[in-house]
Amino acid sequence: MTVPAIRIASVTKSYGALKALGGVDLEIGQGEFFGLLGPNGAGKTTLISALAGLVRPDGGVLEVMGHDVVRDYRNARRNLGVVPQELVFDPFFTVRELLRIQSGYFGIRGNDDWIDEILASLDLTAKASSNMRSLSGGMKRRVLVAQALVHRPPVIVLDEPTAGVDVELRQGLWQFVRKLNRDGHTIVLTTHYLEEAETLCGRIAMLKAGKVVALDTTDNLLRRFATHSLRVKVGQPAAALALGGVEVDGGWVEFAFDSFAEVEQVLARLREAGAGVMEMQLGEPDLERVFIEVMHRV
């Protein structure tokens, strides 16, 4: 039987009166591209820190590739690469020196070929001899990704990896991460860019107040929670609002619907009310709508 890449069972963690994790249960299979979403303060970073051994849980079990992060810390950490949210770096070394030092933490020597491959994949080759202080924020974040990969971990956790990264760098980063996933690496992503999670993640867990409040495939979450939207620009917004629409901006009013058969009914009611439809847009369900609905429901 194949062990899960990550197993989290009844994990709790409190800081005084604040309950950061209130009994989290979660399994992530090997090779998954998994999204961990939630508002600020939901417990995502605490959970990642517990997985990495930086925070000791009050109760429960956390395992990486079958290795308990407390009792078998060395093997658990060897199987895990974490890209932190904060830009933490040593300003006294070049990019290559930093990656060699990181390799040494895991007892790895003479892996310059792999370091070269990582640098090339992350478009950092030209910066290999540059001091970390001289890099832009986006480049520093790429170095953090490289650091997490030097020991070739099968499980990679990305905590807000594209925060502050420009569009071009972001696209290159996701291209590389997709390749890692195709090669068999398990990827766990936390992000506030919900369109990224919708595009990349096969399954998603949503956390609120330290508990998992939704867990399913991305497609199922979109089907279960999100509705389509009909946006109309009208001459008489008050008439459209009286029919249950929600004002968006600039004379646009939005109606939610579950099936396209409802669109004709809404338009007929708008005509009868004399709203004066001038333009119309249909919107597909998206993860942002799902996220807002789930957070409001629980």
Give me Rg for the CA atoms of the chain.
23
Q: How high is the pLDDT of residue 226? A: 60
Q: Given a cut of 90, is residue 92 above it in pLDDT?
A: no
Tokens of 18: 């604040």
Q: How high is the pLDDT of residue 286? A: 75
Q: Which CA distances in Å does 171 have to 49, 76, 156, 163, 198? A: 27, 30, 18, 13, 15
Q: What proportions of the chain, in percent to the nearest 5, are helix, strand and coil?
A: 40, 30, 35
When pLDDT is averaged across residues 174-194 and rounded to a whole number, the result is 92
Element (H, E) at 78: helix 73-78
Q: How high is the pLDDT of residue 24? A: 96
Tokens of 131: 């001091």
- Between CA 135 and CA 229 the distance in angstroms is 43
Dihedral sign for Cα atoms in the order 67, 70, 72, 73: positive
Q: How high is the pLDDT of residue 27? A: 97
Tokens of 98: 């930093």
Q: How high is the pLDDT of residue 298? A: 61
Q: How high is the pLDDT of residue 84? A: 86
Give tens-digit pLDDT for 2-39. Answer: 899 999 999 999 999 999 999 999 999 999 999 999 99
- Between CA 148 and CA 28 the distance in angstroms is 19
Q: Which CA distances in Å does 225 have to 55, 152, 283, 290, 294? A: 34, 37, 15, 5, 8
- Between CA 149 and CA 111 the distance in angstroms is 12
Q: How high is the pLDDT of residue 2? A: 87
When pLDDT is averaged across residues 98-105 and rounded to a whole number, the result is 92
Minimum mean pLDDT range among 96-100, 133-137, 194-198, 283-287: 283-287
- Domains of the chain and CATH, by start: 6-223 (3.40.50.300), 226-297 (3.30.70)
- Between CA 289 and CA 297 the distance in angstroms is 12
Please check whether residue 228 is in contact with residue 260, taking contact to mean a CB–CB distance below 8 angstroms: yes
- Between CA 218 and CA 202 the distance in angstroms is 6
Give percent of the chain above pLDDT 70.
97
Residue labelled with tokens 């936390």: 190
Q: Which CA distances in Å does 203 have to 76, 88, 180, 189, 196? A: 23, 29, 17, 11, 13
DSSP string, 93-158: SBHHHHHHHHHHHTT--S-HHHHHHHHHHTT-GGGTTSBGGGS-HHHHHHHHHHHHHTT--SEEEE
Q: Determine if the pTM surpasses 0.85.
A: no
Q: Averaging pLDDT over each range in 117-126, 243-252, 255-264, 280-289, which range is the top one?
A: 117-126
- The residues pairing with 63 across neighbouring beta strands, listed in sequence order, are 7, 68
- Between CA 163 and CA 27 the distance in angstroms is 26
When pLDDT is averaged across residues 111-124 and rounded to a whole number, the result is 90
